[in-house]
Structure 1
Amino acid sequence: VVTQPLNIVGQRDSYDISIIVKGGGLSGQAGAIRLGIARALNQVSADFRPALKEAGFLTRDAREVERKKYGQPGARKKFQFSKR
């Protein structure tokens, strides 16, 4: 997942990258690294932009955790309903 932007533009062996990521889980960190590498490649050369954009690497994953609602134990889950 992390090296996908480099593979798309054919620069896998051209760059030596060192990254420190804090917070989130493994998947979220991998996605953040992928976005960072894609943005860096975009700044290096504008020729890479069409390929990166088509692959969707320049767009942040906008999904966020839905908030917990009052009167419920979670975002969607409801307390057990009793008819009597």
Structure 2
Amino acid sequence: MAETINSLEDLGNASVATAANDAPVHVQKLDNEGRAYATGKRKNAIARVWIKPGNGKITVNGKDYDAFFARPVLQMILQQPIVAASRNGQYDVIATVSGGGLSGQAGAVRHGISKALTYFEPELRSVLKAGGFLTRDSRVVERKKYGRAKARRSFQFSKR
């Protein structure tokens, strides 16, 4: 159905009509076992996260999350997307994480949980996006450059 557009007014009306019809439809993405899978990244850490309906148990690399992440700050980081979506105790989370340190790993699992929640419940996307949980934190350690002592530090200057 091709419409002829004769003026700018017709063009404006046509674009408004197509925008209403082309609204993004978010579809649930689940595997054969009814789980949502996502990959989260932060610094050098990569987390593979599966979410399924359950009683709120979070397992990281085969351990309970409070045993794996001993510091309360890291435990809070893991809980942030679930609390923001007000889904406490509704999903079981299974994560495997590798690379980086504990802080990077906690951030990677948080990113993975957020993405997996949007795959399981697409209507949560706006809440998690507003909280900044879906954005991958791209900050990584700056590399050492040739002719420098470290990434930015120069060698000591000698006048004589």
Q: Which amino acid counterpart does residue 141 of structure 2 have in structure 1? A: V
Is 2:107 the partner of 1:68?
A: no
Where does structure 1 lack aligned partners over 5 or more consecutive residues?
none
TM norm structure 1: 0.94
Q: What residue is the counterpart of 1:30 in the other structure?
A: 106
RCO higher in structure (CA 8 A, sep ≥6):
2
- Over the aligned positions, Cα root-mean-square deviation in angstroms equals 0.9
The sequence identity of aligned pairs, in percent, is: 54
CA deviations 1:43-69 (Å, max 9, x no partner) are 111210111000000000001221211
CA deviations 1:2-53 (Å, max 9, x no partner) are 0110000111100111212111011100000000000000011121011100
- Structure number with greater Rg is 2
Q: What residue is the counterpart of 2:96 in the other structure?
A: 20
TM norm structure 2: 0.51
Q: What residue is the counterpart of 2:131 in the other structure?
A: 55
- Higher strand proportion (structure 1 or 2): 2
The secondary structure found in structure 2 opposite 1:20 is strand
Q: What residue is the counterpart of 2:87 in the other structure?
A: 11
